[in-house]
Amino acid sequence: MGMNVGSGGGGSDAEPIMDINTTPLIDVMLVLIIMLIITIPIQLHSVNMEMPVGNPPNREKPLEVRIDIDRTGQIFWNGAPIDRPTLDANMMETAKISPQPNIMVRPDRFARYEGVAFVLANSQRRGLQKLAIIGGEQFR
């Protein structure tokens, strides 16, 4: 450690030492930092969630309407053969049901595109929104 010594000029006035000893200040700051670290609560890496108590309400399975199109272009509504005006009327009635049933369109592999496109376009015109084409594995 160094020490400030006044000038040796032989004067009788002592000069004050302007340096501050920072060692105790650093010690106090280290102690305060350690106390702060110890008192900070440990953070949890989980999220607290309030889960519902009891059994969930019974959810009804949505209605399903199955539209089949065979290779000759005949349209079947839930297994019953129907013509195009009856299909249109059935789709209008189905669109009014709340919530809308799921419409499952299943064309035959060798069905003409005209019949399938008619069913798809008609369902869009009537406002049916839950439409699925099933049986796609037969087209591989």
Amino acid at 31: V
Classify residue 79: in a domain, yes or no.
Answer: yes
Strands 80-82 and 75-77: antiparallel
Q: What pTM was computed for the model?
A: 0.55
Q: What is the pLDDT of residues 40-58, one digit of tens each?
A: 877 766 667 777 788 777 6
Classify residue 103: in a domain, yes or no.
Answer: yes
| Domains held by the chain: number | 1
CB count in 10 Å sphere of residue 91: 21
Classify residue 120: in a domain, yes or no.
Answer: yes
Q: Cα separation of 95 and 99, whole Å?
A: 9
Q: Kindly report the CATH number assigned to the domain that includes residue 99.
A: 3.30.420
Classify residue 90: in a domain, yes or no.
Answer: yes
Q: What is the pLDDT of residues 109-134, one digit of tens each?
A: 888 889 899 999 999 998 888 888 88
Classify residue 82: in a domain, yes or no.
Answer: yes
**pLDDT class of 6 with cuts at 50, 70, 90:** low
Domain extent at residue 81:
64-139
Residue 16 pLDDT more than 90? Answer: no
Classify residue 133: in a domain, yes or no.
Answer: yes
Q: Which residues have a Cβ under 8 Å from the Cβ of 130 and sit 6 or more positions away?
A: 62, 100, 101, 102, 103
